[in-house]
Amino acid sequence: MKTYLAEAQLRHLNLAVGIATTGRPEQAMLTLKQVARQERLPDGVIICPADADDFDHAAAASLPFHVEIVLGPRGLTAQRNAIIASCSDADAVVFFDDDFYPAPSYLAEAEYMLIRYPDVVIARGRLLADGVCGPGLEHEEALGMLESIPASPPEETAISDIYGVYGCNMTLRMAPILAHGVRFDENLPLYGWLEDIDFSRSMASYGRIIMNRRLYGVHLGTKRGRTSGVKFGYSQIANPIYMLRKGTMTASYAFRHMARNVASNIAKVLAPEPWVDRRGRLKGNAVACVDLVRGRLHPTNILRLD
């Protein structure tokens, strides 16, 4: 942190936080309270709710930063694009999922990283835990993990180049986004499965994509507000193939993703986890495969599925 403070005295970035949220206003407020614990507060927070009642603006009045509400079409990619459009004056926007709790040092470390490494265009942090892989983490459980924060690795070993970021927490440098018109692909609707990889590869021509292990937090993986099993299963096939055709995913990466997910759905369909609709996902996989054979596979088809 001494290095960060020395650099920050020379330059202060305009750092925005963006949160797209759907169907869980209470959780969004809990996340904002964690943002309020940052050692380096954001210069502004932009919230894009899917519906007007997905966020309680009055409850945000007590937070130590300005909260702006922007509206956009329903869907993670469209909501994130609405946030990007509203923070064109920022040097960077840090996207947090509405159930991601950043460590108190997160934004300070993100600012230092952007100053220290001007070739970095997009970065993700490491997760102390990810509730997406299980039934989800509770609020108090996540806070306990943040109270037991491990020592940060040295700067020289903290950063590594990666293929793509994980969208629950990612820092985007705005200059290349604005200069080249990079946006999240709204053909990846609703939950936007793999939209983070697609966006990362769209940015790859303009600088480095990295993991920074000095940025960290806890992803609760809250299940409320998730896409239906059938739609998600369809996206597990449609989105990688769409990205393969588009050129933002390699064939090996796409087929590895699809094979792993379909195999998992088949293996667990008879004894599914209580928090996963394996039968629905497998049905969505099958519908997507039929559409692929018939030549009509496309990610937006989930908008017509039940």
* 247 backbone φψ class: left, alpha, beta (φ>0; ψ -120 to 50): left
Least Cα distance to 113 among 235, 44, 211 occurs for 211
Return the higher-pLDDT residue of 57 and 303.
303
Among all chains, which residue has been given the structure tokens 């499965």? 193
5 pLDDT band, cuts 50/70/90, is very low
The tens digit of pLDDT for each residue in 148-178 reads 877 788 888 999 999 999 999 999 999 999 9
Q: Report the relative pairing of strands 159-161 and 92-96 from DSSP bridges.
A: unpaired
CA atoms within 13 A on the CB side of 148: 7
* Architecture category of domain 2-219 in CATH: Alpha-Beta Complex (3.90)
**Tokens linked to 230:** 């059938």
**Tokens linked to 263:** 């195999």
pLDDT for 1 beyond 50: no
Q: pLDDT value at position 3?
A: 43
57 pLDDT band, cuts 50/70/90, is confident
**Tokens linked to 262:** 């379909």
Least Cα distance to 120 among 49, 59, 210, 39 occurs for 210
User: What are the φ/ψ torsions at residue 290 (nearest 5 degrees)?
Assistant: -65, -45
Report domain extents, the chain.
2-219, 229-304
CA atoms within 13 A on the CB side of 36: 14
Least Cα distance to 103 among 151, 66, 136 occurs for 151
8 pLDDT band, cuts 50/70/90, is very low
The tens digit of pLDDT for each residue in 236-279 reads 999 999 999 999 999 999 999 999 999 999 999 999 999 999 99
Q: pLDDT value at position 225?
A: 60
